[in-house]
């Protein structure tokens, strides 16, 4: 549970969750053209309730992204427990991409044309990035990733695959091709 949710009454927590769910659905369907009033209506609350939780649409989008990054950090920590560096990296990469495949609002937010301002969710993003860095470094040391592979390359691969998630499963092939490219070249 992210920090803004910890101190809410049960009904306020339910309203916040309904708003995040409604916003995720609508933003995923139509992008940022969706209106605040539509989000509140789908959540079954008034616009005032939405504004009590989120200052504006950017804050609402940041909360959606923060929630996804928090879940991704949990997934990454679980992958990190695998003692095999290759399996840990593969579990992280495929688990993360599988988790975002159905979250078009998250993908749109990450891949959109504007540079997002998500200072409020920096702890969630940093927690995810820190675990990714440890898994990547371990995989490089174990020789299962190219020696020049870094955390930014992980982000580059995931963004490339996300850009190809258009409702079918072809993105899995894109991912396999990417994985082949980051493995060390065979010796000999």
Report pLDDT for 6: 56
Q: Which of 128, 142, 143 is nearest to 93 (CA)?
A: 128
Tell me the C-alpha distance between 179 and 173, whole Å: 10
From the candidate CATH numbers 3.40.50.1440, 3.40.50.300, 1.10.357.10, 3.40.190.10, the one assigned to the domain spanning 61-188: 1.10.357.10
Report pLDDT for 94: 94
Cβ(70)–Cβ(2) below 8 Å:
yes
* Chunked mean pLDDT (size 10), the chain, 188 residues: 62 92 88 91 95 91 90 97 97 94 85 76 94 98 95 94 82 86 76
CATH 1.10.10.60 fits 1-54, yes or no: yes
Q: Which of 114, 84, 110 is nearest to 97 (CA)?
A: 110
The pair of structure tokens assigned to 153 is 């390359």
Which residues of the chain form CATH 1.10.357.10?
61-188
Cβ(66)–Cβ(2) below 8 Å:
yes
Report pLDDT for 93: 96
Record the pTM.
0.83
Report pLDDT for 184: 84
Which residues of the chain form CATH 1.10.10.60?
1-54
């Amino acid at each position: 549970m992210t920090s803004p949710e910890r101190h809410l009454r049960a009904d306020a927590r339910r309203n916040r969750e309904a708003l995040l769910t409604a916003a995720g659905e609508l933003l995923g369907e139509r992008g940022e053209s969706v209106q605040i009033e539509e989000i509140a209506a789908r959540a079954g609350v008034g616009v005032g309730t939405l504004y009590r939780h989120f200052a504006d649409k950017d804050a609402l989008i940041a909360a959606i992204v923060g929630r996804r990054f928090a879940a991704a950090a949990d997934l990454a920590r679980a992958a990190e427990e695998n003692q095999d560096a290759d399996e840990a990296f593969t579990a992280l990469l495929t688990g993360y991409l599988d988790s975002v495949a159905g979250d078009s609002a998250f993908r749109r937010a990450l891949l959109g044309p504007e540079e997002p301002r998500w200072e409020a969710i920096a702890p969630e993003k940093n927690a995810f990035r820190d675990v990714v860095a440890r898994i990547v470094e371990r995989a490089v040391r174990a020789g299962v990733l190219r020696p020049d592979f870094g955390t930014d390359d992980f982000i580059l691969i995931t963004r490339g695959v996300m850009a190809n998630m258009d409702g079918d499963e072809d993105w899995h092939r894109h991912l396999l091709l990417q994985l082949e490219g980051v493995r060390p070249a065979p010796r000999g």
